[in-house]
Amino acid sequence: MSVQIEVQLIAVVIAAACAIPGVFLVLRRMAMMSDAISHTVLFGIVIGFFITQDLGSPWLFVGAVLTGVLTVSLVELLNRTQLVKQDAAIGLVFPVLFSLAVILISTFAGNIHLDTDAVIMGELAYAPFDRVVWFGVDMGPRALVVGIALVLLNLAFVTLLYKELKLATFDAGLAAAAGFVPGLLHYALMGLVSVTAVGAFDAVGSILVVALMIAPPSAAYLLTDRLPRMIGLSVLIGAGSGIAGYWLARWLDVSIAGSMATMSGVFFALVLLFAPERGLVAQARRRRTLAHARVQT
């Protein structure tokens, strides 16, 4: 497989992995929580690195997921005092953890390589050169293997807990009455977001993970009212952003991850304008016909 195709495959797989939990973030109004988590997992990675002294260690994953859950818990703790509103609580928590991470890196990890640029921007172009070899067999680029695992994990989560997720998203009260634990589901979803964020880091970097989690589902939300279709469309739009972003980046010789995020924004803008029922053009047209119909009655 050529490097070129591998990079595109990685882009598509990562975008799909991000879009699946993204749908629920958009519907549950937790988009900014994913932004917070994508910042704070840096703290978990740093702590994990201090313990293992190995950037490739799976414990970094564990650390990052735990920090994601820690972020959510701290926000809820603040929120529960009733002194701080949810949005302000998010705005308080993630800078603290991020600051701690930056200070830890700059004071203790000065001479080892933990490149903050790479964490934030990702290095998709180099991803194919980091390969997974099992028992002497080349299984493909690490980012691709991780991405496929993420897609499978997210798909499994959504399929197995589909009814619960759906109910808890649309009617948390009813879900609680029906015996589900919405809190637990919430934390599970946030854990999933953390895992996905960390897994996607290498390829696209932390902030652009947010773009891939939010923009495609937002576009899909303007196109359909049905949840399964929304998930499908999100994955498609995400994958499209991945491929279009890759070619844009190649053409201009610029950051691939940045182009992917840009293209996801472009796709959203197109949907915003031209969506058949909810698009701005359709809205304007409907206003006009309505005014017209009124005049004639």
Partner 1 sequence: MIPRDVPAIDVTHVTVAYREKPVLWNVDFTVPAGVLLAIVGPNGAGKTTLIKAILGLVRPAAGQVLLYGKPYREQRRLVAYVPQRGSVDWDFPTNALDVVMMGALWGIGLVSPAWSRERDMALEALDKVKMTDFAERQISQLSGGQQQRVFLARALVQDAEIYVMDEPFQGVDATTERAIITLLRELRAQGKTVVVVHHDLSTVPAYFDWVTLLNVERIAHGPVADVFTEQHLRRTYGGNIALLTQPFHAEERSQPYV
Partner 2 sequence: MFDLIHTLLSSYTIRTVALGAAVLGVLSGTLGCYAVLRRQALLGDALSHAALPGIALAFLFTGLRELSVLLLGATVAGWAAALVMMLVVNHTRLKEDTVLGMVLSVFFGFGLVLLSFAQKQPTAAQAGLDAFLFGQAASIVERDVLTMAVIAAVALGLMVLFWKEWKLLSFDPQYGNTLGLPMRWLDIGLTSLIVVAIAIGLQMVGVVLMSAMLVAPAVAARQWTDRLGLMVVLAGGFGALSGVIGAVISSLARGLSTGPVIVLTVSLFVVASLVFAPNRGLLWKWWRHQRNRERLQGAVQRGELVLGVPALDETGS
Interface residue list for partner 2 (CB under 8 A): 25-26, 29-32, 34-35, 39, 78, 81, 83-85, 87-88, 90-92, 95-96, 98-100, 102-103, 106-107, 110, 116-117, 120-121, 207-208, 210-211, 213-215, 218, 221-222, 248-249, 252-255, 257-262, 264-265, 268, 272, 278, 280, 283
Partner from partner 2, partner 1, none binding residue 184, C-beta < 5-8 Å depending on class: none
Q: Which is nearer to partner 2, 163 or 274 (CB)?
A: 274
3-state secondary structure of 81: coil
User: Least distance from C-beta 281 to partner 2, angstroms?
Assistant: 11
Q: Does the footprint of partner 1 cover residue 281 (CB under 8 A)?
A: no
Q: Does the footprint of partner 1 cover residue 297 (CB under 8 A)?
A: yes
Torsion of CA 175, 180, 183, 189, to 10 degrees: -90
User: Least distance from C-beta 108 to partner 2, angstroms?
Assistant: 9
* One of 96, 277, 281, 285 touching partner 1 (CB under 8 A): 277
* One of 137, 177, 252, 291 touching partner 1 (CB under 8 A): 291
Partner from partner 1, partner 2, none binding residue 294, C-beta < 5-8 Å depending on class: partner 1
**197, 147 in Cβ contact below 8 A?**
no
User: Least distance from C-beta 254 to partner 2, angstroms?
Assistant: 4
Q: Does the footprint of partner 1 cover residue 295 (CB under 8 A)?
A: yes
* Alpha helical stretches, state H, 161-255: 162-170, 172-177, 182-204, 206-221, 227-252
Can you tell me which residue has the tokens 């002497």?
136
Q: Does the footprint of partner 1 cover residue 80 (CB under 8 A)?
A: no
Q: Which is nearer to partner 2, 36 or 151 (CB)?
A: 36
Nearest to 18 by CA among 41, 6, 35: 35
The residues, any chain, with a CB within 8 Å of residue 145's CB and separated by 6 or more, are: 132, 139
Contact region with partner 1 (CB under 8 A), list: 27-35, 164-172, 208-216, 285-293: 285-293
The residues, any chain, with a CB within 8 Å of residue 138's CB and separated by 6 or more, are: 131, 132
Q: Please give the residues from 207 up to 266 whose contact with partner 1 meets the rule CB under 8 A.
A: none
Q: Does the footprint of partner 1 cover residue 29 (CB under 8 A)?
A: no
Q: Which is nearer to partner 2, 160 or 281 (CB)?
A: 281
**72, 187 in Cβ contact below 8 A?**
yes
**50, 104 in Cβ contact below 8 A?**
yes
The residues, any chain, with a CB within 8 Å of residue 208's CB and separated by 6 or more, are: 121, 122, 257, 258, 260, 261
Partner from partner 1, partner 2, none binding residue 267, C-beta < 5-8 Å depending on class: none
Nearest to 219 by CA among 264, 284, 176, 254: 264
How many binding residues for partner 1 (CB under 8 A)?
Answer: 9
- Reported residue count of the chain is 297
Which two structure tokens, joined as six digits, stand for 160? 């197995």
Q: Which is nearer to partner 1, 115 or 277 (CB)?
A: 277
Partner from partner 2, partner 1, none binding residue 249, C-beta < 5-8 Å depending on class: partner 2
Nearest to 270 by CA among 241, 248, 294: 241
Binding site for partner 1 (CB under 8 A): 277-278, 286-287, 290-291, 294-295, 297
